[in-house]
Amino acid sequence: MRLTDMTIRALKTPSQGATIFNDDLVPGFGIRVSEGGTKSFVLTHGARRQRETLGRVGVVSLQEARTEAKRRLAEYTLGKNKPRTINWNAALEEYLAEKAPDLKPRTLDDYRYLLTRHFKYGTTKLSELSPHDLRKNLERLAKTPAEQQHAFVVLRAFIRWAHRKHYLDLNPMERMQAPHPYVPRERILTDNELRRVWNAVGDNTFGKIVKLLILTGQRRGEICNLTGGMVSADTITLPATHTKNSRQHTFPLGEMAKSILGPPHPRDALFFTALGKTTPFNGFSPSTRKLDKQCGMSDWTLHDLRRTFASGLASLGVSLPVIERLLNHISGSFGGIVGVYQRYDFMPEMRDAITRWEAHVQTLVQN
């Protein structure tokens, strides 16, 4: 019924218990009449049909009670849909902590690096970020397409997580187009370029990392995260948690690489640290820019050294399976059923390949 002052006065008192008379104008709003004749304005709402008393008839007017009922219903509705207030930094820390058990340490480090370096929103609330804000930051990476694509993928995963957590009412990346697919680089350094890079880097932390990348062909993250426990007298063993394919990788060390690593380190100590900190070296951007100036090259990346290593070994007559073992590739020669049954470690062949490669590098840098 539509409640009015007249209909309220005419409501009958029940013989026992209480009866609720609902209003047609406001859902859930009504009058509760008890067997003692007391009449009260009430509001019933929610999936659990919670009931609230708004006031007694006579103390609160019908208009006041109806207005209050509308206000509370609006508040409850908005409260269900309104995202929780949280800023970028707080959400990011929660996200990384939640993902830590499921990700390899180096992957988690990549996530943190990308989301803190390229999206510096600090204490800005997530709900205040617009698609334009996110797109603007991504567009700044246009000159580094691989980094841009990686940043887009990681950012999209984080934003989707925040949306599922109800930190965002709408996903600002829902209609955002991904960057153009990254085209793999084909750049390899010539012997002269390799010589210039070697001679330009010093013997500081960054220089040692670059030289080891040249001599071993391993990935940057694998080398700068080395600890004493991974290095033996003549091999390095990367645990599955440190490799891209989640496979333990053991490869031989040549004499040049041994001299760069120096004497044995404590088992858990990092070989390469920044400013004495017990954290992996991460000053690559400024160090690489400085190296570019010193060697007079700018159209190359550190990952090109891995491609140069593989191509250089092939030019020295090293077979493809041995090269793939050194690179820790599980496709190619060791893909499919071959990878299941082929268990030979190729260690003698890898040692010979490293010896030949170091001899080649030694000749280059001495000329």
What does the pLDDT read at residue 151? 93
Q: What is the mean pLDDT of residues 58-64?
A: 92
What does the pLDDT read at residue 266? 77
Could you tell me if 212 and 206 are in contact, meaning their C-beta atoms sit under 8 angstroms apart? no
Could you tell me if 231 and 271 are in contact, meaning their C-beta atoms sit under 8 angstroms apart? yes
pLDDT band of residue 340 (cuts 50, 70, 90) is very low
pLDDT band of residue 170 (cuts 50, 70, 90) is confident
Q: What is the mean pLDDT of residues 271-293?
A: 79
Could you tell me if 148 and 136 are in contact, meaning their C-beta atoms sit under 8 angstroms apart? no
Domains identified in the chain and CATH numbers: 5-81 (3.30.160.390), 88-164 (1.10.150), 191-284+299-366 (1.10.443.10)
- Residue ranges in the chain assigned as alpha helix (H): 5-9, 62-81, 88-99, 105-117, 131-139, 145-164, 191-200, 205-216, 220-224, 255-261, 284-295, 304-315, 320-327, 337-341, 347-366
What does the pLDDT read at residue 278? 66
What is the chain's percent helix, strand, coil content, to nearest 5?
50, 10, 40
**pTM of the predicted protein model:** 0.58
**β-strands 235-238, 29-34: how paired?**
unpaired
Higher-pLDDT residue of 231, 183: 231
Give the range among 15-29, 108-122, 271-285 with minimum mean pLDDT.
271-285
Residue 86 has pLDDT above 50, yes or no: yes
Mean pLDDT of the chain: 87
Q: What is the mean pLDDT of residues 213-228?
A: 92
CA separation for the pair 248, 188 (Å, rounded): 27
